[in-house]
Structure 1
Amino acid sequence: MNKIIFFVLARLYGLYFNILALFSKKLAAEQAFTVYCSPRKGRVIDLQADFLNEAKDQLISIGGIKIQVYRWKGSKETVLLMHGWESNSFRWKNLIDYLQKEDYNVIAFDAPAHGNSSNKSWNVPIYADCAHRIVTLYEPQFLIGHSLGGMAALFMQYSYPNTSISKIITIGAPSEFTQLMGYYKNLLGLSKRVMNGLNDYFKFHFGLEIKEFSTAILAKEIKIEGLLFHDRIDPITPYISSEKVHQNWKNSTLISTSGFGHSMHQEEVNLKILDFLNSSK
């Protein structure tokens, strides 16, 4: 029943945007993108609160958004963790346990509109800008991103290549914004006029058309070492996303799994992450 209600509401939103676009393509695109970037969940729930509260570090203002940073202190290199859509820093609990045993200094932060951070909306460029500010402050050597957190991590590295980061790991990360916006278009039944408006919106605000917003393309410019995890039957993000990135990211390795799902909390994954962080070329 909930799925039916969700579908009906999505179609009603789409009908509204399609009608609005007949009068103002720009306004329809702005409102459609705002809805797209507004998470329905991801705030900290009770069972997550104790773990995160004990590690609270700074609350940093970035572009008017209050970003909550967490820290698990260690004497080795600093690792920065970036969670995905409708999630928060608690998603890293299993991996943090492994990293702490190796005495890594671990930093995580809640994306805008997620966890204990403020704001009502979120997008990849804003997330990447927040990550860059965190990188500037904490100077991590390693960056790990899950799902859209992985996409934002690569976009950050492309946009700001001269940072302290020497290795990036992505887990189940998408690569093509055309695929993400295509899903949104089909879900809401958006018209071609609305989609053209969204493309104009992207070009104006982010300097890229939707088809150009591709980490597979941007990866050609990334020089540091990378490791990509992706399950062949990932139900959320298609496996081909990491294949495309790997093909263009010369200094990367792709680890493929089968049956690990999208979250990939398995011990095998965590141990391979540690191996990669501990290795040197």
Structure 2
Amino acid sequence: MSSKIYFKKSRGFDLRRRLINLTTRLHHRIAPNHARSVARKVLLTPVRSKKAAAEPAGLTRKPIATSEGMMMTYSLGEGPTWVLGHGWSGSSRQFYTLMEHIAASGFKALAFDNPAHGESEGQFGHLPGFVAAFDSILEQQNCIAGVVAHSMGGAMVLESRHPLLQDKPVLLVAPVLNYTENLISTVERSGYSMKLFHDVVEDIAEQYHSPLDSINPLNRLNGRQAKAVIVHDKYDRFASYAHSELASTNQNVTLITTEGLGHGRILQSDQLKSGFDMLITEQKG
């Protein structure tokens, strides 16, 4: 259900959307506690991807204890570590092609499945939980060389305040830089009760000390001094390319534009490998 809410694009009058609005508002009015419990399941349960992907030779799996439960990590190669974080309803498997490229370039690629994703523990997924798990992963590293993040994973990286990230380059793939605006508009389009949505969000905000209106990945990116490369498809239907264009006016941000790769296929692209090569070349320089 959650993937239909977050990724379905509806236009014009939609009877199903109208029915969702009426039933969720009525449910919230009659049985508010039960409605919030159901809403958490509907809004915060990602789809655990079951797409098969051939594992790279030498890939090592290792579960790591974090504040969000046990997160499964996947490492490949030896050398300075690049950490890779996926987006909503994604998994580390999406990075296998890039991980092979990173390892072949003399680095260690360390990917992890976010809470309630892939092979990690957890029932619910949300950005504050992503950030907490990511910070826990970083806490167990002596140092890192940089970070790669896809989609909502980009917001996760940019919202993190972990000191290991301060001067490190980031490679952002189809990032959701207008995270709050995008989240609210997609839930509104679904027809789901916005009052019920905000009740769920406020519970998370209180638990993680992370109010929704404080989340602004674009501003975080503009405030960073380290280099960033964004690889984004011009016709991405799920993450705003226009906001990546806006970010590229920052002298520390380089935008690589693709066409025809969409939001997911871009992860297997040569342009993404080129973005990584650009960052490590600057590091060596």
Q: Which bin holds the TM-score, normalised by the shorter protein?
A: 0.7 to 0.9
SS at match of 1:70: strand
Change (3 A) 1:240 1:17: same
Query: Does the CA contact (< 8 Å) of 2:56 and 2:100 recur in 1?
Result: no
Cα shift at 1:206 = 4.6
Within a 5 Å distance, the mapping from 1:19-168 to structure 2 comes to 19-23=26-30, 28=35, 31-43=38-50, 45=51, 47-48=52-53, 51=55, 55-75=59-79, 77-138=80-141, 139-156=143-160, 159-163=161-165, 166-168=168-170
Change (3 A) 1:245 1:275: closer
Residue 185 of structure 2 corresponds to: 182
Query: Does the CA contact (< 8 Å) of 1:83 and 1:89 recur in 2?
Result: yes
In 2, Cα distance between the equivalents of 1:60 and 1:184? Answer: 33
Q: Which runs of 5+ in 1 are unaligned?
A: none
In 2, Cα distance between the equivalents of 1:207 and 1:250? Answer: 32
Residue 18 of structure 1 corresponds to: 25
In 2, Cα distance between the equivalents of 1:162 and 1:103? Answer: 20
Matched, 1:234 2:229: no
In 1, Cα distance between the equivalents of 2:91 and 2:76? Answer: 16
Give the TM-score, by structure 1 length: 0.82
Q: Please, which moves more after superposition, 66-75 or 210-219?
A: 210-219
Show CA shifts across 1:128-164 (max 9, x none).
11111111212322100011111211112xx224547
Cα shift at 1:52 = 7.2
Cα shift at 1:165 = 5.7
Cα shift at 1:109 = 0.7
SS at match of 2:261: coil
**Amino acid in the other structure paired with 2:173:** I
Cα shift at 1:93 = 1.4
Cα shift at 1:240 = 1.8
Change (3 A) 1:74 1:42: same
Change (3 A) 1:217 1:25: farther
Cα shift at 1:9 = 7.9
Percent of matched pairs sharing the same residue: 19
In 1, Cα distance between the equivalents of 2:65 and 2:199? Answer: 31
**Amino acid in the other structure paired with 1:254:** L
Change (3 A) 1:272 1:162: closer
Residue 254 of structure 2 corresponds to: 253
Cα shift at 1:223 = 2.7
Cα shift at 1:258 = 2.4
Q: Which runs of 5+ in 2 are unaligned?
A: 9-13
Change (3 A) 1:31 1:205: farther
Query: Does the CA contact (< 8 Å) of 2:256 and 2:271 recur in 1?
Result: no
Cα shift at 1:122 = 0.9
Change (3 A) 1:191 1:106: closer
**Amino acid in the other structure paired with 2:217:** T
Change (3 A) 1:179 1:146: same
Query: Does the CA contact (< 8 Å) of 2:77 and 2:104 recur in 1?
Result: no
In 1, Cα distance between the equivalents of 2:113 and 2:201? Answer: 28
In 2, Cα distance between the equivalents of 1:164 and 1:220? Answer: 13
Show CA shifts across 1:89-126 (max 9, x none).
11011112211221211111111111111111111111
Query: Does the CA contact (< 8 Å) of 2:151 and 2:175 recur in 1?
Result: yes
In 2, Cα distance between the equivalents of 1:208 and 1:166? Answer: 23
Query: Does the CA contact (< 8 Å) of 1:42 and 1:85 recur in 2?
Result: no
What's the RMSD between the two structures over aligned residues? 3.0
- The size of the alignment, in residue pairs, is 269
Change (3 A) 1:209 1:178: farther
Q: Please, which moves more after superposition, 251-260 or 127-136?
A: 251-260
